[in-house]
Amino acid sequence: QSEVTQAPSASGTPGQRVTISCSGSSSNIGKNYVFWYQQLPGTAPKLLIYRNTQRPSGVPDRFSGSKSGTSASLAISGLRSEDEADYHCAAWDDSLSGPVFGGGTKLTVL
């Protein structure tokens, strides 16, 4: 059972801005960095956002991360068909002494 929760699905139309949320607790998101991973169909996850808001080299600035209290969000602006993927949030959990992932949100571009 995940200590961090995400809505199982989200959707948007091309060009739209969508937000994916991640809810945790004081033992994980509340005091530790949040990471976001993008998993395209049939592939391995890829680091999309690290340490709450940072983008690795090569990740478009259409992707942005934020955190407030025990929740975090990933925003995607100018939605494109190639953004259709599963998005996973993760954070270190002090109680578990390890990283914990949300269940993932499947983004559909309509």
Partner 1 sequence: QVQLVQSGAEVKKPGASVKVSCKASGYTFTSYDINWVRQATGQGLEWMGWMNPNSGNTGYAQKFQGRVTMTRNTSISTAYMELSSLRSEDTAVYYCARGSPGYSYEFDYWGQGTLVTVSS
End-to-end CA distance of the chain: 30
Question: 83: helix, coil or strand?
Answer: helix
Nearest CB to partner 1, comparing residues 83 and 93: 93
Report the site for partner 1 in 46-105 (rule: CB under 8 A).
Answer: 46-47, 50-51, 56, 88, 90, 92, 96-104
37 part of the interface to partner 1, by CB under 8 A: yes
DSSP labels, 12-70: E-TT--EEEEEE--TTTTTTS-EEEEEE-TTS--EEEEBTTTB--TT--TTEEEEEETT
Instruction: Work out which of 2, 9, 19, 53 binds partner 1, going by CB under 8 A.
Output: 2
Least distance (Å) from partner 1 to the CB of residue 106?
A: 10
Residues that bind partner 1 (CB under 8 A): 2, 33, 35, 37, 43-47, 50-51, 56, 88, 90, 92, 96-104
